[in-house]
Amino acid sequence: MPPQTPLLTVDVIIRVGSRDRVVLIRRRNPPPGWALPGGFVEVGETVESAAVREAQEETSLQVKLAGQFHVYSDPARDSRGHTVSVVFLGDACGDPRGADDAAEAAVFSLDRLPEPLAFDHDRILADYRNLLNGNRP
């Protein structure tokens, strides 16, 4: 029997217009709430390709990745099971449109985020705010 391991996911902090304006999606499926665009990495796919694909599928934006931000692996981060997420920073232009499993997509200022945020995305965005203030997560 193969070993049981966490599922691999990606999330993208998509910046639009400035570093403190980010795209979030309102989830169509449980768990409910607003979230960073992202999803599961498919077999044969790099995490970078998965991040660009998921961002485009959920926001209809063409995202240019600026680099890897951080990895989040708390076993309790997803109520559906243990996932490990590689989070990227990315940049895009235009107005996001919710698609695929995103009911809605919108741009928010970091100081006016919607509630509730799904998963551990409040922590991820707090870590991103710290980065903007000169600290590393």
- Positions marked active-site: 104
Q: Is residue 109 a contact partner of residue 23, using CB atoms and an 8 Å limit? A: no
Using CA atoms, how far apart are residues 106 and 100, in angstroms rounded to an integer?
15
Q: Is residue 95 a contact partner of residue 21, using CB atoms and an 8 Å limit? A: no
Using CA atoms, how far apart are residues 78 and 72, in angstroms rounded to an integer?
11
Please provide residue 136's backbone torsions phi and psi, each rounded to the nearest 5 degrees: -110, 140
Q: Is residue 101 a contact partner of residue 89, using CB atoms and an 8 Å limit? A: no
Using CA atoms, how far apart are residues 63 and 81, in angstroms rounded to an integer?
28
